[in-house]
Amino acid sequence: MKILVTGAKGFIGRNLIAHLKNVENIDIMEYDTDSDISNLEGYCKEAEFVFHLAGVNRPKDQTEFMGGNFGFTSTLLVYLNKYNNHCPIMISSSTQAELDNPYGKSKKAGEHLVFKYQRETGAKVLVYRFPNVFGKWCRPNYNSAVATFCYNISRDLPITINDPDTVLNLVYIDDVIDELMQALEGNENMIGKYCEIPIVYRVTLGKIAELLNSFKKIREDNFVPDLSNSFIKKLYSTYLSYLPEEQFSYEPFVFEDSRGTFTEFIKSNVSGQVSINISKPGITKGNHWHHTKNEKFIVVSGTGVIRFRKIGTEQVIEYFVSGDKMEIVDVPCGYTHNIENLGDTDLITIIWANECFDTNRPDTYYLEV
């Protein structure tokens, strides 16, 4: 299937094309502002579906709005009509089409143009009035508050918020792409004469800034956000995509003594804590039990033994573990336990606990196995 994508180098265009390149039997024809206009006519002749994402939203002169958003759309439709190519065409409009400003007027004019084309030709036309779209590859310090906040906060640069209670209607780029792929298959989410992205988030500027600043703090306390919240999960993924490339890595919290090291990897108020324990050869760690805290051990390198004894009993249970045959070992409450390195190399164990370690309530009681 031959698909024409205008605005191919824009935010939505880049994400759409990256997705389409992983779909079988798709031939993508890319067009952007630096493309040769002579190619557009040939693309319009061959296209079996058009994603019309090209547009102007930050011109040097406001008169360019109409030329970029109405004029180019007119050219596109003329070429399609010239070859009697009435394939489906999707056009990206904006919620600002309802506003009385140069940008909104140009988007509304583009809508009228494609609806007229639909009436005259019978072609299927899908008009999406996008609200604020956020996600990876959106240009910061341009026309997206989320992109600008992500970029600036990740670089310790100031952000400006005139009114923190201002509410934004936001859609996530992957949800946009999912909907566009549904449209390609003829399953668009049509509401009246317009198409819509099914998932829209209403969030204040103040809340967005608060969340992004908490994401930055993760490198200080290792607490990841509540990823069960779909907006927070998507915003966190977006934030990480704006990290300076030279700052992808950071130092963990490491507790070290003669026995080895204990490194905190991830903490979550919802999902507990993940840590990495390294024991030197011949070393035994642990010999304690918990009331409520439970853990899962998985040895990823080395050989050892995990021992358990239910408190108040004498029977010792042993599980021999090795990185050569990884298995997950549950550490139930009420069992004192330890882990001993039986090999000649470091014993490396990943440990998950159902709660983060709290110095005020450690729930850890010394008792030899």
Bridge partners for 304 per DSSP: 321, 341
- Residue 301 identity (one-letter amino acid): S
Residue 123: phi and psi, rounded to 5, are -65, 150
Q: What span, in angstroms and rounded, lies between the C-alpha atoms of 263 and 253?
A: 6
Nearest to 306 by CA among 314, 316, 291: 316
Q: How far apart are CA 188 and CA 173, in angstroms?
A: 16
Q: Do strands 89-94 and 194-195 pair parallel, antiparallel, or not at all (unpaired)?
A: unpaired
Which amino acid is located at 304 in the chain?
G
Helix/strand/coil (H, E, C) string of 95-129? HHHHCCCHHHHHHHHHHHHHHHHHHHHCCCEEEEE
Helices (H), 229-349: 230-240
Question: What amino acid is encoded at 176 in this protein?
Answer: V
Rounded to 5 degrees, φ, ψ at 325 are -140, 85
Burial of 16 (0-12, 13-18, 19+ CB in 10 A): buried
Catalytic residue, from 103, 201, 239, 335: name it: 103
Known catalytic membership, residue 172 = no
CA distance 359 to 369: 23
Among 9, 82, 10, 94, CA closest to 47? 82
Rounded-to-integer distance, Cα 301 and Cα 321, Å: 9
Query: How many CB atoms neighbour CB 313 within 10 A?
Result: 8
Catalytic residues, which ones? 103
